[in-house]
């Protein structure tokens, strides 16, 4: 599922993508949220 200028995030009812122009700001927030959740889950 390659799409120009977008990062594939996963599939809900349809494929979900993050536009690269938002990836730096929102992508780092997503990673921090995922890592925080992993730490709390231990």
Residue 3's pLDDT band (cuts 50, 70, 90): confident
Find residue 1's DSSP bridge partners: none
Secondary structure element (H or E) that encloses residue 17, with its range: strand 15-19
Residue position matching structure tokens 């809900």: 12
Enumerate the domain spans of the chain: 6-40
3-state secondary structure of 25: helix
pLDDT reported for residue 13:
92
**Residue 40 has what pLDDT?**
63
What is the pTM assigned to this prediction? 0.47
Predicted pLDDT at 25: 64
- C-alpha to C-alpha distance for 24 and 14, rounded to whole angstroms: 23
Q: Identify the DSSP state of 5.
A: T
Q: Residues 10-39: pLDDT tens digits? A: 888 998 888 877 766 666 777 777 767 666
Structure tokens at 8: 């594939």
């Amino acid at each position: 599922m390659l799409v120009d200028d977008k990062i594939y995030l996963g599939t809900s009812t349809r494929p979900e993508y993050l536009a690269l122009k938002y990836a730096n700001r929102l992508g780092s927030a997503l990673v921090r949220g995922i890592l925080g959740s992993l730490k709390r889950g231990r």
